[in-house]
Homo-oligomer: A and B are copies of this chain.
Amino acid sequence: MANKEPQKILLAHGGGGRLTANLIEKTILPKLANEVLNRLTDGAVLRVNGASLCFTTDSYVVQPLFFNGGDIGKLAVCGTINDLSAMGARPIALSLALIIEEGFPMEILDRVLDSVGRTSQEAGVPVVTGDTKVVESEAADGLFINTAGIGVLLPNVNLSFERIQPGDKIIINGTIGDHGMTILSRRKGIRFDSPLKSDCSALADLTSRILEAVPGVKFMRDPTRGGVAAILNEIAAGAGCDVVIEETALPIDPTVRAAAEMLGLDVLEIANEGKMLMIVASEDAKEVVRICRDHTLGAQAAVIGTVATPQEEGGGIVELLTKIGGRRIVQMPYGRELPRIC
């Protein structure tokens, strides 16, 4: 039997993995095709009056709405700021659109909005426009939030797959999997002595410090849905190179590691909400790690791997060098395991 495309939307279509990529490439892009959208970065770059504007959008459907380290409101502000940061932009404004289920407690809405306001103020990125829709009881799951964001491209920044080449270093600003494991453990009712905490944070200050100081930064992407595994696969495919990461170099919180083992999950596939993967010229890697470690959001920054010469034409292979010296392929996640993580 032929390998048919699903006729209905599956949870995995939203998981940030292979099915999400299929849906976007086969169903969505052909209908909307235009030069800007086809670039498929985290957002679009528009030229207006000589300025390069970045524009991005994300909806947030996380369950539960509140978790250790954040809530849907903080997530909605940080997530869109981080998408703009990954493009090399300084975020200047956010929109906020709420879809609320009838009967939703006003007191909880209040807490979420407090969090939106506080996070946006701390990050210095105001919410300038909004919309509110209410749907009947049971037509939505409590509260969904969409934020769109506008940023201005930082001067002299040029982030693109094309600049990536073998020998470049792969850097992350800290431990991986914290956000996703916090949400999943909460949902499964698992508790640990040292509690899991989402890394949800706005990275614009950190990324702009790095971009202003280091011209050798070639690419950035925040590893949210699908985790580090999904983004490294996108990078390898986009750059036409292979990628090799080292298991011993990956910063992973011990509780996150224990939780992932308990639930049978690969930490590389788990979502982050305060992390940036950076591809940096080899000679600049040390400086980027130093800037990260000087920042509150980068104390555990590390070089986790290297871009490699492709083994096959076109590249695209992501390999993990294991602790015991083996090699395993890190695949693009399918996406099913982790719905409603953000």
Indicate whether A110 reaches chain B with its CB closer than 8 angstroms. Answer: yes
Q: Which of A3-30 contact B (CB under 8 A)?
A: 5-15, 20, 23-24, 27-28
Complex Cα distance, B102 from A205, in Å, reads: 37
Report yes or no: A135 in contact with B58, Cβ–Cβ below 8 A. Answer: no
* Band of interface residues on A: 35 or more
Indicate whether A129 reaches chain B with its CB closer than 8 angstroms. Answer: yes
Indicate whether A161 reaches chain B with its CB closer than 8 angstroms. Answer: no
Report yes or no: A150 in contact with B116, Cβ–Cβ below 8 A. Answer: no
A67 vs chain B, min Cβ distance (A):
17
Report yes or no: A127 in contact with B32, Cβ–Cβ below 8 A. Answer: yes
Number of copies: 2
Report yes or no: B27 in contact with A99, Cβ–Cβ below 8 A. Answer: no
Q: Assuming the A-B contacts A58-B97, A148-B95, A148-B148, are A37 and B128 also in contact, with contact meaning beta carbons closer than 8 angstroms in the complex? A: yes
Complex Cα distance, B136 from A12, in Å, reads: 10
State the majority secondary structure of interface residues on A.
mixed
A38-67 vs B, CB cutoff 8 Å, 1 = contact: the mask equals 000001101011110101111111000000
Report yes or no: B140 in contact with A144, Cβ–Cβ below 8 A. Answer: yes
Complex Cα distance, B105 from A9, in Å, reads: 6
Binding site for B on A (CB under 8 A): 5-15, 20, 23-24, 27-28, 31-34, 36-37, 43-44, 46, 48-51, 53, 55-61, 92-93, 95-107, 109-110, 113-114, 116-117, 120, 126-136, 138-141, 144, 146, 148, 150, 152, 339-340
